[in-house]
Amino acid sequence: MSAQFHIIAVEHGAADAEIIEQHLANAGLQCVVRQVKTERDITCALRKPASEDSRGDQELRDRLAALEETLRIRTESLTAAIAQLHKQTRLRQEAEIELGLAQKLEAVGGLAAGIADDINAPVQYIRDSAHFLGSAFNEIVAALPGDGQPADGNRAADLRLLLAEVPSVIERMVEGSRQVATIVRAMQEFAHPDATEKAPADLNRAIETTLLIARHEYKSVATVQLNLGELPEIVCNVGELRQVFLNLIVNAAHALADVGRDADSGRIIIRTALVDDWVQVQFEDNGRGIPQEIIERIYDPYFTTTEAVRGSGRGLAIARAIVVAKHSGRMNVESTQGMGTCFTLRLPVGRPAAGEE
**177 and 264: one domain?**
no
Q: Is 197 a domain residue?
A: yes
Angstrom distance (rounded) from CA 12 to CA 35: 8
Domain that holds residue 314: 193-348
Neighbour count for residue 6 (Cβ, 10 Å): 15
Task: State pLDDT tens for residues 180-225.
Answer: 777 777 776 766 655 567 889 899 999 998 898 888 889 899 999 9
Rounded CA-CA distance 97/47 in Å is 75
CB neighbour list of residue 88: distance below 8 Å, 6 or more residues apart: none
Q: Where does residue 334 rank: exposed (0-12), middle (13-18), buried (19+ CB within 10 A)?
A: middle
Q: Which of 140, 161, 190 is the last residue of a domain?
A: 190
Of 139, 166, 190, the position where a domain reaches its end is 190
Q: How confident is the model at residue 355 (pLDDT cuts 50, 70, 90)?
A: very low
Chain segment 18-58, per-residue pLDDT in tens: 666 676 677 666 666 555 554 555 455 545 554 555 776 77
Clarify whether residues 290 and 322 are in a common domain.
Answer: yes
239 shares its domain with 222? yes
In a domain, 71, yes or no: yes
pLDDT in the model for residue 357: 42
Same domain, 121 and 201: no
* 340 and 269 together in one domain: yes
CATH label of the domain that carries residue 342: 3.30.565.10
Q: Specify the number of domains making up the chain.
A: 3
- State the Cα angle at 279 between 276 and 281, rounded to 5°: 130
Closest to 289 in 3D by CA, of 254, 346, 340: 340
Residue 198 lies in a domain: yes
- Do 57 and 4 belong together in one domain? yes
Q: Are residues 204 and 82 in the same domain?
A: no
Question: Do the domain assignments include residue 166?
Answer: yes
Phi, psi of 231 (to 5 degrees): -125, 145
- Same domain for 151 and 263? no
Read off the pLDDT of residues 140-183 as tens digits, 9 standing for 90 and up.
Answer: 767 666 554 555 556 667 677 777 777 777 787 787 777 777 77
89 and 155 belong to one structural domain? no
β pairing state of 5-9 and 31-35: parallel
Give the total residue count for the chain.
357
Q: Could you tell me if residue 165 is inside a domain?
A: yes
Q: Single out the residue in 190, 221, 247 at which a domain terminates.
A: 190
Same-domain check for residues 182 and 266: no
Do 120 and 215 lie in a common domain? no
Are both 277 and 229 inside the same structural domain?
yes
Average pLDDT for 261-287:
94
Q: Would you state the pLDDT for residue 1?
A: 46
